[in-house]
Structure 1
Amino acid sequence: MTISKDTKTEQATFGTGCFWCTEAQFQQLEGVLTVESGYSGGDRPNPTYEEVCSGNTGHAEVVQITYDPSKISFATLLEAFWLSHDPTQLNRQGNDVGTQYRGVIFYHNEEQHKEAEFYKKKLQESGSYSDPIVTEIAPYKAFYKAENYHQNYYNQNGSQPYCYYVVKPKLEKFKKAFAEKLKK
């Protein structure tokens, strides 16, 4: 997608487990311009997928979202983020286990930090979850784009078993919850 130089954009960086699921969900939202799968939160520059999967880099699988704040707010993206993973699971989502699958918000500025903390506290106090919310909120430092075969994964590999049995049901649930905010 080509973004006009006149379009004011902002970024959000979220980890919700496997980035294939997260990417497919956020691509659906009106105002989201691009979603890239990658790695963030660790100490190794330019890690490979294999290195991240080892659990030794400190990186999480994340998506970096470029969005138009005149069409979608960071608060709406946060709402989608919290819905797209189980925030009570530490270092895992479903069968994907390891620190690379942790739930995390890497905030880009103090406003995002405050909104993320506010939403996390509000969600914890709501009683929606019987277990404590363990999703991490940390400052953004760097994003390393994943290998090309990870980009736009679900759209290109939807019949692959993981996509069919894991990504597709999550995406259908997401589309129902955000029906009014989806791209036309």
Structure 2
Amino acid sequence: MKDIYFAGGCFWGTEHFFKLLRGVKETEVGYANGHTTSPTYEEVYTDTTGFAETVHVTYDENVTDLTFLLQMFFKAIDPLSLNKQGNDIGTRYRTGIYYTDKDDLPAIQEAMKAEQRRYTAPLAVEVEPLQNFYRAEEYHQDYLEKNPNGYCHLPIELFRMAKMTNDEK
């Protein structure tokens, strides 16, 4: 099993999307790469802690690979939008790819280059080693499963596409 961390705006929809993809074995939402200890949602919401809402993705590299997950990540975000995804605005909603294995960096850099070729403006996606990650409160975990009509900035078509990836293998 391998791990990667994606900040893609509000973590409710981002987690739900990744959970549907083939090879993803586990997800959890939390706060990454900030400068305080054990932040709460209320603290992160102030945009003073430096944390981004992030999804920790654990995947089976025998079923899927990082390149595929990165391609899916770019389908779920506006890579040019700084500190904003959908209607969510603030540094906590910035986009980022945070890695724990330096051997993953070449694949991440290649995915960033491929995505950049699609635009003339620079991408607003951070690529950094994971500095820290704190699991969000339980009510945020699997939020859209617990609240099927809950808020999500991602289009429903994206979830349908993610479900179809399970049929491809």
Alignment-derived partner of residue 113 in structure 1:
105
**2:28–2:141 Cα contact (<8 Å) kept:** yes
What is the aligned residue count? 169
The amino acid across from 1:114 in the alignment is: P
| CA distance in structure 2 between the partners assigned to 1:182 and 1:46 by the alignment | 39
Unpaired runs of 5+ residues, structure 2, are none
Alignment correspondent of 2:14: 22
Deviations 1:57-76 (A, max 9, x none): 00000000111111110111
SS at match of 1:55: coil
Partner of 1:102: 94
Q: Distance in 2 between matches of 1:94 and 1:183?
A: 29
Q: Distance in 2 between matches of 1:56 and 1:144?
A: 16
Worse-matched range after superposition: 43-52 or 173-182: 173-182
- Selected match of 1:142 from 116, 132, 156: 132
Q: Aligned to 1:118, what secondary structure does the other structure show?
A: helix
| Correspondence 1:123-138 to 2 at 5 A | 123-125=115-117, 127=118, 129-138=119-128
**CA positional deviation for 1:183:** 9.1
Q: Which amino acid aligns with 1:134?
A: A
Structure 2 residue aligned with 1:34? 26
Q: Which is further off, 114-123 or 53-62?
A: 114-123
Please tell me the root mean square deviation across aligned C-alpha atoms, in Å: 1.9
Measure, in 1, the Cα distance between the counterparts of 2:44 and 2:103.
29
Distance 2:127 2:167 in 1: 26
- Which residue in the other structure is 1:3 paired with? none
* Cα deviation, residue 174, structure 1: 4.1
Match of 2:160 among 151, 156, 175: 175
Q: Deviations over 1:55-113 (max 9, x none)?
A: 00000000001111111101111111111100000011121111100000001122222
Cα 1:44–1:182 change in 2 (3 A) is farther
**Partner of 1:76 in structure 2?**
68
Report the 3-state secondary structure (helix = DSSP H, G, I; strand = E; otherwise coil) of the residue aligned with 2:131.
Answer: coil
Gaps of 5+ in 1: 1-8
- State the identity as a percent: 40
Q: TM-score, normalised by structure 2?
A: 0.92
Indicate yes or no: 2:60 matched with 1:60. Answer: no
> Looking at both structures, which has the greater relative contact order when contacts are Cα pairs under 8 Å and sequence separation is at least 6?
2
